[in-house]
Amino acid sequence: MKSIIVYYSLEGNCKLISNTIAAAIHCDVLELKLKKPVPVKGPMKFITGGRSAMRKASPELATTIPDLSDYELIIVGAPVWAGTFAPAIRTFASKAHVENKKMAFFTCCASGPTEKCIKDMKAVFEGNTVLSDISFVNPSTKDTEKCIDKAKIWAQQFIS
Ligand SMILES: Cc1cc2nc3c(=O)[nH]c(=O)nc-3n(C[C@H](O)[C@H](O)[C@H](O)COP(=O)(O)O)c2cc1C
């Protein structure tokens, strides 16, 4: 099935998982970038990013959303921020109007829990069929090889 991964990543964890899945299933990848990026280092990262997540903000994207109508499956990846998904995903959801698609979600967190984040992602992409979801704990720095294997195995279900 023709698939695309759409993800946001501030610190590289979701990027690692996206690239791993994309290589495993040979799908397209769209990285969401913000017009006003959240600082990668220092306390402002948590203040700016956390506040924006808690306020359910939809920050402007620097990324142009392509026509997604040809894709049968859209995999969305997001870091957990303040217990929910990073706000770039909300902007994507509102701009892309994804409907009647197969979807799958992955999250990266520092410790979790991730259930609320996944539930919030399902809600924001209501009207689609969610095939699967999975979470990773800081895969760039913790058990990286195991996480890569876990992502590859998870991705196999999307090959048809
Ligand atoms: C603003 C902000 C808020 C965060 N909030 C949470 C949280 O509520 N729970 C959690 O487990 N990790 C939290 N984290 C950690 C990230 O989810 C985690 O490091 C993730 O792997 C980052 O993914 P990325 O490298 O793709 O950006 C937060 C990180 C940031 C920057």
| Mean pLDDT within 64-77 | 97
Average pLDDT, the chain: 97
Cα separation, 64 vs 75, whole angstroms: 17
Q: Tell me the β-bridge partners of 81.
A: 84
- Residue among 25, 22, 16, 8 nearest 148 (CA): 16
What amino acid occupies position 156?
Q
| Mean pLDDT within 60-69 | 97
- Per cent of the chain over pLDDT 90 is 98
Query: What DSSP line would sit under 78-109, residue for residue?
Result: EEEETTEE-THHHHHHHHH---S-EEEEEEEE
Ligand 1: distance of its center to the CA of 159 in Å? 29
The preferred substitution site among 80, 115, 136, 141 for testing ligand 1, maximizing ligand atoms within 8 Å of CB, is: 80
Q: How confident is the model at residue 25 (pLDDT cuts 50, 70, 90)?
A: very high
Q: What is the pTM of this model?
A: 0.98
Structure confidence at residue 62 (pLDDT): 98
Ligand 1: distance of its center to the CA of 70 in Å? 32
Structure confidence at residue 36 (pLDDT): 97
Ligand 1: distance of its center to the CA of 1 in Å? 31
Ligand 1: distance of its center to the CA of 107 in Å? 9
| Mean pLDDT within 134-153 | 98
Q: Is the pLDDT of residue 149 over 70?
A: yes
- Other C-beta atoms closer than 10 Å to the C-beta of 79 total 25
SS3 content of the chain, % helix, strand, coil (to 5): 35, 25, 40
End-to-end CA distance of the chain: 6
Angle formed at CA 129 by CA 31 and CA 109, multiple of 5 degrees = 45
Q: How confident is the model at residue 112 (pLDDT cuts 50, 70, 90)?
A: confident
Q: Which domain holds residue 7?
A: 3-156
**CATH number, domain with residue 119:** 3.40.50.360
Query: Exposed, middle or buried by CB within 10 Å (0-12, 13-18, 19+), for 76?
Result: buried
**Residue closest by Cα to atom 28 of ligand 1:** 81
What amino acid occupies position 15?
K
How many domains does the chain divide into?
1
Under 8 Å between Cβ of 84 and 120: yes
| Mean pLDDT within 47-76 | 97
Structure confidence at residue 122 (pLDDT): 98
Handedness of CA 118, 52, 35, 44 (dihedral sign): negative
- Per cent of the chain over pLDDT 70 is 99
| Mean pLDDT within 74-94 | 98
83 in contact with ligand 1, CB cutoff 6 A? yes
Structure confidence at residue 160 (pLDDT): 65
- Taking the CA of residue 84 as reference, the ligand 1 atom at the shortest distance is 8
